[in-house]
Amino acid sequence: MIRKILIAEDYESANISVQKTLEDLGGIQADYVFYCDDALLKIQKARQDDEPYDLLITDLSFEEDGQKQHIPDGIVLIDEARKIQPDLKVLVFSVDGKPATIEMLFEKQGIDGYVRKARNDAKEIKSAIKSIEGNQRYYPRHLVQLVKQKNAHKFTDFEITIISLLSQGMRQKDIPSYLKKNKIKPSGLSSIEKHLNHMKEILNFSNNEQLVAYCKDMGIV
């Protein structure tokens, strides 16, 4: 059961909002801090007192305000907190909605849930806590939708090459000469246009810029 939660959030308004959300759930003791260093100290003390936290809710970025901090951000906080309490559950609450960032946190940091700061985020926090309480990971809704979209099309090496060149600023009409020079086939402009149009149609994009931005966010290029 999740009954004791620590909130690490440097924006007072967001901090208060999360506290109010937890109050609505009822039966939860919530402590809050504005700095990562203070969060780690509370986790250490709670562990020493044999009254550990069940869940850490943390932002990813913390603005500098002149007060020197040893722990600069939420990612380092997660790592340090897990050294003290390996079984500590972690829910990230951040404005960052990039799928590549979120997937990295699940894979490398082993977080238990992620909620993006957006409309209806209070409802999502409640859902996330219930999922984590049931030993299930909570993935943000927009990421689930994007993953489904990503799985709708399997990018070929040729397509990734084209998108990578576009992301580097190369004009579409200049790509054929690059492909010919590097002996990559097909290299004709019509083939390039065909592949780009096919990807945009499947992924429901209207221009190359949207396709490139999507592939960057998804970590494809």
Query: What is the Cα–Cα distance from 61 to 22, expressed in whole angstroms?
Result: 22
Return the beta strands (E) in 39-143 as ranges.
55-58, 89-94, 113-116
Q: Return the structure tokens found at 144.
A: 């689930």
Place of tokens 């203070």: 38
pLDDT of residue 87: 95
List pLDDT tens digits, range 56-80: 999 999 988 778 889 999 999 999 9
Q: Tell which wins on pLDDT, 13 or 85.
A: 85
Q: Catalogue all structural domains in the chain, each as residue range(s) with its CATH number.
A: 4-147 (3.40.50.2300), 152-217 (1.10.10)
Max distance between CA atoms of the chain, in angstroms, equals 69
Q: What is the pLDDT of residues 140-188, one digit of tens each?
A: 776 666 665 555 577 899 999 999 999 999 999 999 999 999 999 899 9
Token code pair at residue 158 = 């040729």
